[in-house]
Amino acid sequence: MKLDTSPIAAIATAPGRGGIGVVRASGKSLAPLMTALFPDVTLAPRRATYLPFRSADGSIIDQGIALYFRGPHSYTGEDVLELQGHGGPVVLQMLLTRVLEAGVESGLRLAEPGEFTRRAYLNDKLDLAQAEAVADLIDASTEAAARSATQSLSGAFSKTVNKLVEQTIGLRMLVEATLDFPEEEIDFLEKSDARGQLAVIVDSLEAVFQQASQGALLREGLNVVLVGQPNVGKSSLLNALAGADVAIVTPIAGTTRDKVSETIQIEGIPLNIIDTAGIRLIDDQVDVVERIGIERTWGEVAKADVIMHLLDAAHGPARADDDIIKAFPDGIPVIRIWNKIDLSGHKPSVAEAADATHVYLSAHEHIGIDLLRAELLRIAGWQQTGESLFLARERHLIALRSARKHLQMAEAHAAQTDQSLDLFAEELRLAQAQLSSITGEFSSDDLLGVIFSRFCIGK
Ligand code: GDP
């Protein structure tokens, strides 16, 4: 990727009103910009200077703090200037306009989404997994997700992946050295314990994969469709599930959905509850506009990880229940929840049946809620290991899976009697390439474009 070093600027704080707001600029040298903005002051690096921010005509826009970080000792690795003023949308826009104007001579332009972090990556301040963690930390919707993102941002995930890469390189060097001396190829794998070394790498990769896929759950959560007739207890159930930490968290970033009614969390895993208030079957009575809405809801249903079908244990299913549940797509697990057992006299329990898992509980009396929570966590694939988790992205999981596949192929080659060392070496090379892609050692411009364009401007 060509490194565009023209200076950039943007408002770095969230839109809206706040105590302070920050306009940030970055560039190879910001000296001309600072001279234009503050002709009478020389900003010392890393020192907060309180001063007026002035328009070109000398009138004061705001009073605030200027902070200058001299490259490479900055977030982006370039010169960075932060102007901290008052956090109002208009005053910040005026300040940004002034900065852009003052930087015209030096080619200053508005930053693209994620461009500050992209520069940090290109200047080796962060690797790719860490850069992604910046966005994930900002977008984290639960405390557990935020903690895992911080883990990745601190480099723990990258370090673990890099260790795997190093182990793979070590083994490759051993194998490739032997390839140059064909007479030694025979018995090489036995003598060098290459297979033993490979087994160690495979085991470590498996452990990383577990931590990453569990972490991915914290990021993605579980898409849950909740259906049931009016008054069956849907709201009561959501409240009961959310429990003590009545944590109605924000929708998961990056997924644009028209119809998120609520997100609650169980053990830090976001449950995205899909609103099915308008769900019904399409029949002759449905007009065109309504049809679009219904189709969209069914589209959401098709993407669900689990359907919670709530019924009244005291009254039994209504006719509409049968119709709706018949229409649900195959392959999505169904939990049939019999609510209000305090009225029906059922015991709290879980029973597996061919069509669904049946759970008996009382939302209102908080009886049997733990059974449902456990069932949801089981479906999510959550295993509480107590280990720290990496807030992995799908991209990371794909790379880890692919690396695992290549290592398994290498194992298969090694297990054959007429071992093919060059095929063994080739699989190791492919596994290494996959692992390296996580931290971005060999990443295409396209991939970088996709990753950074999802940031907001100013990050
Ligand atoms: P929704 O329309 O499906 O969201 O149902 P609500 O959650 O609003 O509940 C409807 C009514 O059923 C309310 O009066 C609740 O207090 C009551 N309810 C919900 N769960 C239970 C339960 O487990 N036992 C009893 N006895 N009443 C319940």
Q: What is the pLDDT of residue 62?
A: 97
Judged against a pLDDT cut of 60, whether residue 254 lies above it is answered with: no
The pLDDT value recorded for residue 103 is: 95
Atom of ligand 1 nearest to the CA of 362: 23
Q: Give dist(CA 440, CA 266) in Å, integer.
A: 33
Domain boundaries, the chain: 8-127, 139-217+393-440, 221-380
- What CATH architecture applies to the domain 221-380? 3-Layer(aba) Sandwich (3.40)
230 CA distance to ligand 1 middle (Å): 9
> pLDDT tier at 252 (50, 70, 90 boundaries)?
very low
Percent of the chain past pLDDT 70, that is, above it, reads 88
User: Per-residue DSSP letters for 45-109?
Assistant: BT--EEEEEE-TTS-EEEEEEEEEE-TTSSSSSSEEEEEEEEE-HHHHHHHHHHHHHHTGGGT-E
Averaged over 223-239, what is the pLDDT? 86
CA of 248 to the centre of ligand 1 (A): 20
Q: What is the position in ligand 1's atom list of the atom closest to the CA of 363?
A: 23
CATH architecture group of domain 139-217+393-440:
Up-down Bundle (1.20)
76 or 303: whose pLDDT is higher?
76
Q: Which CATH superfamily is domain 8-127 in?
A: Probable tRNA modification gtpase trme; domain 1 (3.30.1360.120)
Q: Which one of 232, 236, 275 would you pick to mutate in the ligand 1 pocket, going by the greatest count of ligand atoms within 8 A of its CB?
A: 236
Ligand 1 pocket, mutate which of 225, 231, 347 (most atoms under 8 A from CB): 231
Q: What is the pLDDT of residue 3?
A: 57
Query: Dihedrals φ, ψ of 400, to 5°?
Result: -65, -40
Could you identify the atom of ligand 1 that is nearest to the CA of residue 341? 23
Q: Is 78 within 8 Å of 5 (Cβ atoms)?
A: yes
In b/e form, how buried is each residue of 421-452, taking b as 16+ CB within 10 angstroms? beebbbbbbbbbbbbbbbbbeebeeeebeebb
User: Please, are residues 129 and 158 in contact by the beta-carbon 8 Å criterion?
Assistant: yes
Residue type, 232: V
Taking only the tens place, the pLDDT of each residue in 87-144 is 999 999 999 999 999 999 999 999 999 999 999 999 999 999 999 999 999 888 788 8
Q: Is the pLDDT of residue 279 over 70?
A: no
CA 232 / ligand 1 centre spacing (Å): 6
pLDDT digits (tens, 9 = 90+) for 292-323: 777 777 787 888 899 999 999 998 888 878 77
Coil, helix or strand at residue 227: strand
Helix (H, G, I), strand (E, B) or coil at 407: helix
For ligand 1, residues with CB inside 6 Å are 228, 230-236, 339-340, 342-343, 362-365
Percent over 90 (pLDDT), the chain: 52
**Alpha carbon of 238 to ligand 1 centroid (Å):** 11
Please state, rounded to an integer, the average pLDDT across all residues of the chain. 86
Q: Is the pTM of this model over 0.75?
A: no
Per mean pLDDT, which range of 5-9, 33-37, 150-154, 215-219 is the poorest?
Answer: 215-219
Q: Are 439 and 158 in contact (CB under 8 A)?
A: yes
Q: How far is the CA of 339 from the centre of ligand 1 (A)?
A: 8
pLDDT at 182 over 70: no
Q: Pick 153 or 261 by higher pLDDT.
A: 153
Q: Centre a 10 Å sphere on the Cβ of residue 296 and count the other Cβ atoms it contains.
A: 14
Q: What separation in Å is there between the alpha carbon of 340 and the centre of ligand 1?
A: 8
At residue 256, what is the residue type? Answer: T
pLDDT of residue 177: 75
Measure 269 CA to ligand 1 centroid, in angstroms: 25
What are 323-349's pLDDT values in tens digits?
777 778 888 899 999 999 999 999 999
pLDDT winner (highest mean) among 171-180, 368-377, 438-447: 368-377
Q: How do the residues of the chain divide into helix, strand and coil, expressed in percent and rounded to 5?
A: 45, 20, 35
Q: Of 364, 365, 369, 372, which is best to mutate to test ligand 1, by the most ligand atoms within 8 angstroms of its C-beta?
A: 364
Q: What is the predicted pLDDT for the residue at 186?
A: 56
